[in-house]
Amino acid sequence: DRVISAGADTEEREIEAALRPRNLHDFVGQRRVRDQLSLVLEAARLRGRSADHVLLSGPPGLGKTTLSMIIAAEMNAPLRISSGPAIQHAGDLAAILSSLTEGEVLFLDEIHRMSRPAEEMLYMAMEDFRVDIVVGKGAGATAIPLELPPFTLVGATTRAGLLPGPLRDRFGFTGHLEFYGSDELELVLRRSAAMLDMQLNSAAFSEIASRSRGTPRIANRLLRRVRDWALVKGLEQVDARASSNALDMYEVDSRGLDRLDRGVLEALCLKFGGGPVGLSTLAIAVGEETETVEEVAEPYLVREGLLGRTPRGRIAMPAAWKHLGLSVPKDSPV
Ligand code: ATP
């Protein structure tokens, strides 16, 4: 697995649970979403009602699960967690909805991956706090209406654009999480380091932050790799040099690029003269599946202005040449 992958494995989920901020005050960055959400929750508390349904969108690892836990905590309500892929039949959703208690917060991760019939059941549940349970099949099938207690749905999606309009419209509040700036990542790291009882100087924090791809989950993971390094090397205080040595060892470079990312850029610049080159040819050149290059490496490379996608194929941007220590050729397509 990649050190810089934004997804989390099982072991990591446990460590993450310990590092998670528990209230809006401790949640670093995302100022706009935090302020808006704070208002939504405060208003609901003053009215003595459950909060409006909330949709959180944005790339993995930016804090959607954390925010759903904070929403439940701030509303003093229990939290139920499930996900779109786990709900394949309308019956799966009916079972969850019918067991909710008043005011409960239901977090549905990857809500865009729920099956169609479940999605339709959710429309009614969100709007009228009611579901129709269908009993029997064919001509003899009957729908038995079931009242639900008021609840708050928190939906999370990495791709808000994939959500059907009718579902999107039923959320009273939508918050889009952005990648974090270096200053914010440093704050996340300072908080985590204090909890992990680590001593780092300021330069070490900024070194790790600059390699963290704007993502708190990655920042926390890199911090743990640096912690391993410090332990093995017997360092009490970690400086920028120790951090960069540790992360170099994991092949995460100064911009947060790993071996796969650099392999793609090197192939693009050195084998194909900067492109344009088709995605499948590029994937063969780096010995990876097309999907891996497209879904794992490219989004960050595009976001960093290192790689461009054009109708004629992938191209290296001037920053890519510079990052590899090469000069931009005169006939570069950009
Ligand atoms: P996924 O969709 O992949 O589950 P996510 O967006 O739900 O990702 P979280 O699981 O909420 O991300 O966060 C990942 C880790 O990053 C957690 O350990 C959490 O502590 C940390 N984190 C996320 N956002 C913040 C933040 N704003 N402040 C401090 N820590 C944060």
Quote ipTM for the complex. Answer: 0.96
C-beta 307 within 6 A of ligand 1: no
DSSP 317: -
Span from the CA of 274 to the centroid of ligand 1 (angstroms): 36
Q: Write down the pTM of the prediction.
A: 0.86
Q: Comparing C-alpha atoms, which of 178, 151, 194, 177 is closest to residue 21? A: 194
Q: What is the pLDDT of residues 214-273, one digit of tens each?
A: 999 999 999 999 999 999 999 999 999 999 999 999 999 999 999 999 999 999 999 999
Whose CA is closest to atom 16 on ligand 1? 217
3-state helix, strand and coil shares in percent for the chain, rounded to the nearest 5: 50, 15, 35
Quick check: 62 and 154 in contact, CB under 8 A? no
Cα–ligand 1 centroid distance for 218 (angstroms): 9
224 — alpha (psi -120 to 50), left (phi > 0) or beta?
alpha
Whether 29 is in the pocket of ligand 1, judged by its Cβ within 6 Å, is yes
Give the DSSP letter string of 240-268.
HHHHHHHHHHTT--TTS--HHHHHHHHII
Measured at the CA of 307, the angle between CA 305 and CA 313, to 5 degrees, comes to 140
Q: How confident is the model at residue 29 (pLDDT cuts 50, 70, 90)?
A: very high
Cβ–Cβ < 8 Å for 54, 176: no
Q: What is the mean pLDDT of the chain?
A: 92
Residue 17 has a pLDDT of 81
Q: Would you please indicate which residues are annotated as catalytic (active-site) residues?
A: 64-65, 109, 158, 217
pLDDT at 1: 60
Q: Under DSSP, is residue 194 helix (H, G, I), strand (E, B) or coil?
A: helix
Task: Please list the alpha-helical segments (H only) found in 75-115.
Answer: 90-98
Structure tokens belonging to residue 240: 């920028």
Q: Which residue owns the Cα nearest ligand 1 atom 9? A: 63
How many angstroms separate the CA atoms of 227 and 237, rounded?
A: 10
- Nearest atom in ligand 1 to 62's CA: 6
**Is the distance from the beta carbon of residue 61 to the nearest atom of ligand 1 less than 6 Å?**
yes
User: Ligand 1 atom 11: the closest Cα is on which residue?
Assistant: 63
Higher pLDDT pick, 140 / 274: 274
Q: What percent of the chain has pLDDT over 90?
A: 77
From 23, 62, 192, 218, the mutation candidate for ligand 1 (largest count of ligand atoms within 8 A of CB) is 62
C-alpha to C-alpha distance for 32 and 12, rounded to whole angstroms: 28
Helix and strand numbers (H, E) in the chain are 15, 11
Give me the amino acid identity at 192. Answer: S
Ligand 1 pocket residue status of 272, Cβ below 6 Å: no
Local structure of residue 138 (DSSP, 8 states): G
The helix (run of H) or strand (run of E) holding residue 56 is strand 54-57
Closest ligand 1 atom to residue 216 Cα is 16
CA nearest ligand 1 atom 1, residue: 60
E strands, 78-168, in order:
79-83, 105-109, 130-135, 142-147, 152-157
Ligand 1 atom nearest residue 177's Cα: 6
